Amino acid sequence: MIVDSRLSFARQLPSPNCSERPPGAVVDLLVIHNISLPPGCYGGGNIEALFDNRLAADAHPYFREIASLRVSAHLLIDREGAVTQFVPFDKKAWHAGQSSFRGREACNDFSVGIELEGCDQEPFTDRQYERLIEVSRLLMVAFPHITPDRIVGHSDIAPGRKTDPGPCFDWERLRAGCR
């Protein structure tokens, strides 16, 4: 259930990396991402640290490249299906970067971003798909302009720049669960 722009069963971990949506913005897009920090490694709290501006640049060589980024997503679904919410749905999370969907620029303004803990090279877990379908269906009720054809990957709105959720993501499974 979504109450006051928050997912009732999600762990709440507010990120400072958000802002107000533009006046009159209608949320009508759901963007699926993947993330693992360092790449290919799961758990450890590094994603949470990145979204909360606490990622230690010296903890891993890769972190030197990203520790200064100010990014977030609305939700993270970990490998076990647990959900953490960083940004309420009525706010703009900083997940899409330079992006465009059907000729509209700045997708952060009108989208919800969900990160799946994972990478392009590995399949996602059954628990992640189950939870993603559950959450997507709740979002489609809360934001009726989000329809199955308006659930896209980061790669769809930032082609050539982003590849996630990657070739291992089962789009048919998600879309079948959202019909």
Query: What sections of the chain are H helices per DSSP?
Result: 46-51, 63-66, 126-142, 154-157, 171-178
For 90-135, the pLDDT digits (tens) are: 999 999 999 999 999 999 999 999 999 999 999 999 999 999 999 9
Which pLDDT does position 91 carry in this prediction?
98
**Six token digits for residue 108:** 């952060």
Kind plus residue range of the DSSP H or E element containing 77? strand 75-77
Which pLDDT does position 171 carry in this prediction?
98
- Nearest-angstrom CA–CA distance, 78 and 128: 7
Residue 34 banded pLDDT, cuts 50, 70, 90? very high
How far CA 67 is from CA of 55, 60, 78, 108, 150, in Å, comes to 5, 10, 21, 21, 31
Average pLDDT over residues 85-89: 98
Give the number of residues written for the chain.
179
Task: Give the percent of the chain with pLDDT over 90.
Answer: 99
Query: What domain range includes position 104?
Result: 2-178
Which pLDDT does position 65 carry in this prediction?
95
**Six token digits for residue 112:** 């919800």
Specify the CATH number for the domain of residue 159: 3.40.80.10
Question: Is 115 part of the annotated catalytic residue set?
Answer: yes
Q: Which residues contact 133 (CB under 8 A, 6 or more apart)?
A: 173, 174, 177, 178
Looking at the 3D structure of the chain, how many domains does it have? 1
**Six token digits for residue 79:** 């490998």
**Six token digits for residue 162:** 């982003």
Which pLDDT does position 18 carry in this prediction?
98
- From the list 20, 115, 130, 172, the catalytic residue is 115
Which pLDDT does position 31 carry in this prediction?
98
Average pLDDT over residues 152-157: 98
